[in-house]
Structure 1
Amino acid sequence: MKTAFLYAGQGSQTVGMGKDFYDNYGSFRSFIDSCDVANPDLHLKEKMFEGPMEELSKTQNTQACMAAFAAATTQLLYENGIRPDVTCGLSLGEYGALYAANVFSAEEYVRLTAFRGRVMAEAANGIACAMSAIIGTQAEVVERVCREYTGPGYVTATNYNCPGQYVICGDEEAVTNAEALLKENGARRVVRIAVSGPFHTKFMAPAGEQLREYFAKMAFAKPQIPLLLNVTGDYYNEADDLKEILVQQVQSAVRMEAQIRKMLETGVERFIEIGPGSVLGGFVKKTARAMGMQVDIYSIDTMEDFVEMLDEIAGENNE
């Protein structure tokens, strides 16, 4: 069965994430311990397991913690004979997908995401922003309202998650005004999302420039498995400049729905979300339903989720 690994984005973090894996799987424990030794200034284990949530949710902390969890969980999947045929991730999660595709090492992955989180936090400093999920409308409506908005401030579409669910972000006043306009244009509901910065907007351009400088010192390997990209919503091809795409990714919209559709169209039947959380699994479910398709979706948040998934896959393989 063609399998995709999906890597969760920032916002899915929870205090205690990975603690049950750490206590029960030696390889997971060794990986997290080695991350702490290699990056003593990050205090990853302490933030992951003890928090507090306020500290864990600071962008400069969240990204490296999420990366450590994702890389250690990926290693457990490999140890149990489960490997992806294709991979992608949402925002920060795209770096997990690049790691799964062997573009860079686990050590580089954690260090790079720590840097990315720091420069994104710096770029967001002092900006009064807001983010809102727009439910029950079409992408074209969201784009048109943002494009035609002429009031104070700036607002843009930042996430195309799944059919009927899109996200806008920008200056707080502009987002508030755009929410009202979208309701007038038929949106069923708008939901404010807690966010620490105007991510995937033009305000992240300074972070993009710092990432470009960081990437200049790195060697990216060619992806070893098919990989989908946030910026294009399509599969990576050899003409793509991954480094430049990642520079643009931090300041451009994430086209998750398009990526999911591409995977479904190319025969992916099993999706394994490497969390914590189950947000991406929900996006897959809604997109597959809209396409009239049924797929297997597993979200690895806890050790219980992981064991249950292994049992179900083993059962499928024995049929």
Structure 2
Amino acid sequence: MKRIACVFPGQGSQEVGMGKAMYEAYPAVKQLFDEADEALGYSLTRLMFEGPAEELTKTENAQPALLLNSIAIQRVLQQEGVAPAMTAGHSLGEYSALVSAGALDPMEAVQLVHVRGKLMEEAYPTGMGTMAAVLGLSQEEIEEVLRDFDGELAVDLANINCPGQIVISGTKEGVDKASDQLSEAGAKRVLPLNVSGPFHSRLMKSASDDFADHLSETKIYDAKVPVYANVTASPVTSAEEIEKLLVEQLYSPVRFQQILEAFVEEDVDAIVEVGQGKVLSGLVRKVKRRMKTFSVQDPESLQAFIDWYKEES
């Protein structure tokens, strides 16, 4: 049997219409979507299928929508006999990875990330914090520029995505000033991101404290397969360790490049992106150009992957 790693997308991949084709094609997907609507007390399904986009993009809606879409597709893969050797997710996607690994109950996870989204929105005044993608500089070069950014100019590394693509996060004033200095230091481009807050920075510490209370009330199980944590880029299976790292994840950088490098070292036959979009598949190719990738997000792409997975080696 082929050896695969599954990765799950995070916030930013949401799109109106997501999940609709899978919902109409597979009873297991419809069942999960219906259960999620009941658990949340509103029709997330309608919001995903019909929008409006600005409502779906709100953190408190985008997070459960992306998670629900990913875990529903993963449910179908599971029914087809697909068993990943390891999993990981990008930021929010880590929750999908944990559901896939049996560490979180699907409906508890949907409710949990809905709360997580609200806390992240409320953690810092709207418009006062932001993020930007820095292209063409190394982690060390960016850290050198950010060394003195503190207080009202606080800026941190947020996402280490792939060689030459790192996201910074912090106060609006700090990110604006850092962007200018990073351009002067040789960055090819510094692109402001359309986000509502300074995620994965020290400014999220208050949200993490509140979130820890909610997380302590959620049943977390030992993972059945290793989940590579955003905070450490290392495999974790212990329920206690998972809980600790999910709290830290809110204010720590996402070490996705290191996770992908670890997967390559584990000699997997393919890395499979489960959920909306192809962002993570693109990052895989930046880390290891020849790595086989699949993006499974609708019945056609799912069947193409299943055909490959089940063919004789």
Using the size of structure 1 for normalisation, the TM-score is: 0.93
Question: Which position in structure 1 is the counterpart of 2:296?
Answer: 300
1:318 and 2:312 equivalent?
yes
How far off is 1:86 after superposition? 0.1
- In the alignment, the residues of structure 2 paired with residue 94 and residue 246 of structure 1 have an alpha-carbon distance, to the nearest angstrom, of 9
Aligned with 2:248: secondary structure? helix
Question: Which position in structure 2 is the counterpart of 1:20?
Answer: 21
Q: Structure 1 pair 220/310, CA: closer, same or farther in 2 (3 Å)?
A: same
Q: Structure 1 pair 150/31, CA: closer, same or farther in 2 (3 Å)?
A: closer
- In the alignment, the residues of structure 2 paired with residue 309 and residue 63 of structure 1 have an alpha-carbon distance, to the nearest angstrom, of 25
- In the alignment, the residues of structure 1 paired with residue 301 and residue 85 of structure 2 have an alpha-carbon distance, to the nearest angstrom, of 21
- In the alignment, the residues of structure 1 paired with residue 116 and residue 89 of structure 2 have an alpha-carbon distance, to the nearest angstrom, of 16
- In the alignment, the residues of structure 2 paired with residue 151 and residue 211 of structure 1 have an alpha-carbon distance, to the nearest angstrom, of 23
Higher mean alpha-carbon deviation, 183-192 vs 276-285, is at 183-192
Equivalences for 1:62-211 in 2 at 5 Å?
62-149=62-149, 153-211=153-211
After superposition, the C-alpha distances for 1:75-110 in whole angstroms (9 at most, x for unaligned) are 011111112100000110011111111111111111
- In the alignment, the residues of structure 2 paired with residue 179 and residue 151 of structure 1 have an alpha-carbon distance, to the nearest angstrom, of 17
2:223–2:239 CA contact under 8 A, matched in 1: no
- In the alignment, the residues of structure 2 paired with residue 239 and residue 57 of structure 1 have an alpha-carbon distance, to the nearest angstrom, of 30
Letter in 2 for 1:297: T
1:59–1:121 CA contact under 8 A, matched in 2: yes
Q: Structure 1 pair 150/48, CA: closer, same or farther in 2 (3 Å)?
A: closer
How far off is 1:36 after superposition? 1.3
How far off is 1:152 after superposition? 5.2
Aligned with 1:197: secondary structure? coil
Q: Structure 1 pair 271/173, CA: closer, same or farther in 2 (3 Å)?
A: same
Using the size of structure 2 for normalisation, the TM-score is: 0.95
Letter in 2 for 1:26: P
RMSD: 1.7
- In the alignment, the residues of structure 2 paired with residue 137 and residue 269 of structure 1 have an alpha-carbon distance, to the nearest angstrom, of 30
Unaligned stretches of 5+ residues in structure 2? none
Equivalences for 1:253-292 in 2 at 5 Å?
253-289=253-289
1:70–1:275 CA contact under 8 A, matched in 2: yes
After superposition, the C-alpha distances for 1:152-175 in whole angstroms (9 at most, x for unaligned) are 521111010011110011111211
Q: Structure 1 pair 237/67, CA: closer, same or farther in 2 (3 Å)?
A: closer
Aligned with 2:227: secondary structure? coil
- In the alignment, the residues of structure 1 paired with residue 62 and residue 149 of structure 2 have an alpha-carbon distance, to the nearest angstrom, of 33
After superposition, the C-alpha distances for 1:255-276 in whole angstroms (9 at most, x for unaligned) are 0001111111111221110120
- In the alignment, the residues of structure 2 paired with residue 237 and residue 52 of structure 1 have an alpha-carbon distance, to the nearest angstrom, of 38
Aligned with 1:169: secondary structure? strand
Higher mean alpha-carbon deviation, 10-19 vs 217-226, is at 217-226
1:47 and 2:47 equivalent?
yes
- In the alignment, the residues of structure 2 paired with residue 277 and residue 204 of structure 1 have an alpha-carbon distance, to the nearest angstrom, of 26
After superposition, the C-alpha distances for 1:3-49 in whole angstroms (9 at most, x for unaligned) are 111010011000000001111112111221122123223x2111110
How far off is 1:308 after superposition? 2.2
Equivalences for 1:226-241 in 2 at 5 Å?
226-236=226-236, 238=238, 241=241
- In the alignment, the residues of structure 2 paired with residue 238 and residue 203 of structure 1 have an alpha-carbon distance, to the nearest angstrom, of 28
- In the alignment, the residues of structure 2 paired with residue 95 and residue 152 of structure 1 have an alpha-carbon distance, to the nearest angstrom, of 31
How far off is 1:239 after superposition? 9.7
1:85–1:226 CA contact under 8 A, matched in 2: yes
Aligned with 2:191: secondary structure? strand
Question: Which position in structure 2 is the counterpart of 1:309?
Answer: 305
Unaligned stretches of 5+ residues in structure 1? none
Aligned with 2:153: secondary structure? coil
- In the alignment, the residues of structure 2 paired with residue 87 and residue 151 of structure 1 have an alpha-carbon distance, to the nearest angstrom, of 36
2:222–2:239 CA contact under 8 A, matched in 1: no
How far off is 1:150 after superposition? 6.6
Question: Which position in structure 1 is the counterpart of 2:6?
Answer: 5
- In the alignment, the residues of structure 2 paired with residue 218 and residue 27 of structure 1 have an alpha-carbon distance, to the nearest angstrom, of 24
How far off is 1:250 after superposition? 0.5
1:7–1:97 CA contact under 8 A, matched in 2: yes
Aligned with 2:246: secondary structure? helix
Letter in 1 for 2:207: A
How far off is 1:240 after superposition? 6.4
